Chain A
Amino acid sequence: MSKKDEFLTTLKAALSVFAQDQWKQFATEALRDTEVFIIESKDDLIRWHQALQSKQLSKKDFEWLIASKKDEVSLLALKELGLAKVAQDRFINGMLDLVVNTAFKTLL
């Protein structure tokens, strides 16, 4: 096998593993954030509804909390969008590192 072929084969294998690991990690974290949000939201809504019925919470305050929940969705979405950009940067940087390192290992 020529050095050029060895470089391409090694790089292909390394990139495949790297790509899977990188995106899998981001997807797992994003999914976990969403699941936590859903669980917390469910608990919040049950508690607020009970407080509304027992008059611990006014209708106006209840509505404010619900609206705040909507803002929380926006904040979570902005966080995930930002982290997706971080994952993209890590991916590009990691890929460039892989290409350079593989070239040094196999071609030199």
Chain B
Amino acid sequence: MTKVIINKSWIKLSAIILTLLLLGCTSIAPFNQIAYEKATSVKARSMLLMSKATQPYTTHKDEIAILLLEAQQGYEYAKGRPKNQQSSAQWAIILSPQRHSLGGFLHKWKLEKTLSSFYIQEAQKLIGRHFDYISSLESGKINKP
């Protein structure tokens, strides 16, 4: 009788320990709705603004500043979440004016004043996919209630 009680207690104790282990051992941040929405929203705004790049950069200076601020907020939000290095590194690539994504596109627009429509269409396809890599990583994360 004592043995059965000890065995049952041991199992319960093990279950508690395992549950604690389970809660504590994650290697990447869980899914975050705000992070997902930031990526999809900045993508939509970027696509819209990029289609105007046949016009002079200076005409859209204010819209560009707002978009860059929103993208920067997306990056800062990703960077501030624990165990979220991959997502914040993705935002860093997209934002950098030295790379060849949204930041690079806006930098090029600024330097060249206007851009060709064929180039814009192709850049939209690429940069659209760049944002999709952020949102698909986010949506692939574990959704904790």
A interface vs B, CB < 8 Å? 40, 44, 47-48, 51, 56-58, 61, 64-65, 67-72, 74-76, 78-79, 81-83, 85-86, 88-90, 92-93, 96-97, 99-100, 103-104, 107-108
**CB–CB B11/A103 < 8 A:** yes
Interface string of B110-131 (1 = CB under 8 A from A): 0000011011001101110110
Chain B residues within an 8 Å CB radius of A97? 22
**CB–CB B126/A86 < 8 A:** no
Whether B38 is near chain A, meaning CB under 8 Å from some CB there, is: no
**CB–CB A89/B101 < 8 A:** no
Chain B residues within an 8 Å CB radius of A69? 126
**CB–CB A68/B133 < 8 A:** no
Q: CA separation between A56 and B118, bound complex, in Å?
A: 7
**CB–CB A96/B22 < 8 A:** yes
> Top 7 closest A-B pairs, CB basis?
A68-B100, A82-B86, A85-B28, A61-B119, A75-B133, A67-B100, A79-B137
Q: Which of B11, B130, B134, B140 contacts A72 (CB 8 A)?
A: B130
**CB–CB A75/B126 < 8 A:** no
**CB–CB A85/B8 < 8 A:** no
Interface size class of B (residues with CB under 8 A): 35 or more
Q: Which residue of A lies closest to B100 (CB)?
A: A68
- Majority DSSP secondary structure for residues of B touching A: helix
Shortest CB-to-CB span from B95 to chain A, Å, is 11
Chain B residues within an 8 Å CB radius of A103? 11, 14-15
Chain A residues within an 8 Å CB radius of B122? 44, 47-48, 51, 57, 65
From 66 to 112 in chain B, residues with beta carbon under 8 angstroms from any chain A beta carbon are: 86-87, 89-90, 93-94, 99-101, 104, 108
Whether B18 is near chain A, meaning CB under 8 Å from some CB there, is: yes
From 1 to 41 in chain B, residues with beta carbon under 8 angstroms from any chain A beta carbon are: 7-8, 11, 14-15, 18-19, 21-22, 25-28
CB within 8 Å for A79 and B129 given contacts A58-B116, A64-B100? no
Chain A residues within an 8 Å CB radius of B8? 108
Whether B142 is near chain A, meaning CB under 8 Å from some CB there, is: yes
**CB–CB A86/B11 < 8 A:** no
Q: Which residue of A lies closest to B122 (CB)?
A: A65
